[in-house]
Amino acid sequence: QQVLLEVKHLKIQFHLKNGKQAKVVDDVSFSIRKGETVALVGESGSGKSITSLSIMRLLPIPPGEITAGTIKLNGKNLLDYKSKEMSHIRGNEIGMIFQEPMTSLDPVFTIGNQMIEAIRRHQKVSKKEAWIQSLKLLQEVGIANAEKIIAEYPHQLSGGMRQRVMIAMAMSNNPQLLIADEPTTALDVTVQAQILKLMMKMKEEHHSAILFITHDMSVVAETADRVMVMYAGQIVEEATVRELFLNPKHPYTSALLKTMPSLDTEATRLPTIPGTVPPAYALPDGCRFAPRCPFVMEQCQHVQPAVFHIQDEHKVRCHLFTEEGELVHGGERSLT
Ligand code: SF4
Ligand code: MG
């Protein structure tokens, strides 16, 4: 399958007011194939949202700065585009869905006006034609009374309904890549399931790939083909969903999986991972997970682990795999 998005050695820093530098994304590489659903998971503060914002070129610069790397869509580096060229790509080749649709929907315009505008920004169609397309899209996302909704304002809709509208808008120009950042986090559980199902249906119908950003492993299990686990600005493990769930390698991934609810422990409290993600301005010298890792070794304290290739599409950034895996990139090879 052809590669759609290829991020290579991406480094993003934030210049903090106190003069410190925060390495929020540090040597991140991954790719997404056409039509694939790839989840990017991790706790808040791991750099997942910053990574997605940088792909859309919506990173606030300053204080943010991309200090290294490339982000290629169909072989072209998005970082080379002028902001005007980029605005043709955003909303057209790349669709976006965020956690809180209220922040992406404009409160002063009707749903219809916003959808028509989104369509006409990228397609040469009349208002009438765009209105017909909008209506069709609203029906596609399961809004039965589309004629009524199209004339309403965002605040008149429920959270779930707004998210349906956002999905309709994101898909309106048939994006090759849909970036969904915690799209169901603000919704209640039943609505969450419906919205996930809808996203997957729309992705199939519009032949899009999805970069799905979430902190929820059960969402990953239901939606993704592959998973990338992010911790403190780095991808620490990457594998197919099946492989990652059956055979997690990185101690952080194992800990994350233990925080997942399973049917037999439904009512009981879930374990959480002790400790917190280190702040991006005060990262440990060695492995960033070392302060929380149950397997921490002497070298973990001062040598950054490299990325090792375990098998097929399985990669891990951890010293425990120095012998088993094949060196891919980054860190320092700790064995001499
Ligand atoms: Fe744990 Fe060391 Fe692996 Fe880091 S490199 S995850 S501290 S074993
Ligand atoms: Mg986020």
Mean pLDDT across 139-168: 91
**Taking 60 as the threshold, does the pLDDT of residue 267 lie above it?**
no
Q: How confident is the model at residue 116 (pLDDT cuts 50, 70, 90)?
A: very high
> pTM higher than 0.95 for the full model?
no
Which pLDDT value is given to residue 265?
52
DSSP bridge pairs for 317:
307
| Ligand 1, pocket-test mutation among 231, 236, 287, most atoms within 8 A of CB | 287
Answer with the residue of higher pLDDT: 275 or 72: 72
Answer with the residue of higher pLDDT: 298 or 323: 298
Q: Are 207 and 145 in contact (CB under 8 A)?
A: no
ipTM of the complex: 0.95
Counting residues of the chain whose pLDDT is more than 90, the rounded percentage is 61
DSSP bridge pairs for 129:
none
Which pLDDT value is given to residue 335?
35
Q: How confident is the model at residue 264 (pLDDT cuts 50, 70, 90)?
A: low
| Ligand 1, pocket-test mutation among 235, 277, 320, 321, most atoms within 8 A of CB | 320
Instruction: Note the pLDDT tens digit of each residue in 7-56.
Output: 999 999 999 888 888 999 999 999 999 999 999 998 888 999 999 999 99
Mean pLDDT score across all residues of the chain:
89
Mean pLDDT across 67-78: 96
* Residue among 218, 209, 213 at smallest CA distance from 228: 213
**Distance between CA atoms of residues 241 and 26, nearest Å:** 24
Q: Please list the alpha-helical segments (H only) found in 7-91.
A: 48-55, 83-89
**CA quadruple 68, 289, 308, 76: dihedral sign:** negative
Burial (CB count <10 Å: 0-12, 13-18, 19+), residue 252: buried
Instruction: Note the pLDDT tens digit of each residue in 154-168.
Output: 999 988 888 889 999
Counting residues of the chain whose pLDDT is more than 70, the rounded percentage is 93
**Taking 90 as the threshold, does the pLDDT of residue 105 lie above it?**
no
Ligand 1 cavity residues, CB under 6 Å: 250-251, 287, 289-290, 293, 295-297, 300, 305, 318-320
Mean pLDDT across 103-107: 80
Mean pLDDT across 108-119: 94
**Taking 60 as the threshold, does the pLDDT of residue 228 lie above it?**
yes
40 phi and psi angles, rounded to 5 deg: -115, 110
| Ligand 1, pocket-test mutation among 256, 277, 307, 318, most atoms within 8 A of CB | 318
> Which atom of ligand 1 approaches the CA of 250 most closely?
6
Which pLDDT value is given to residue 237?
97
**Taking 50 as the threshold, does the pLDDT of residue 88 lie above it?**
yes
Which pLDDT value is given to residue 254?
93
**Taking 60 as the threshold, does the pLDDT of residue 102 lie above it?**
no
Which pLDDT value is given to residue 216?
87
**Distance between CA atoms of residues 88 and 94, nearest Å:** 9
Question: Which residue's entry shows tokens 């409160």?
Answer: 107
Distance 101 CA to ligand 2 centre (A): 14
**Taking 90 as the threshold, does the pLDDT of residue 176 lie above it?**
yes
**Distance between CA atoms of residues 19 and 35, nearest Å:** 42
85 phi and psi angles, rounded to 5 deg: -65, -40
**Taking 80 as the threshold, does the pLDDT of residue 326 lie above it?**
no
Q: Are 45 and 278 in contact (CB under 8 A)?
A: no
**Taking 50 as the threshold, does the pLDDT of residue 334 lie above it?**
no
Most confident of 43-52, 145-154, 215-224: 145-154
Tokens of 122: 């990228």
Which pLDDT value is given to residue 266?
54
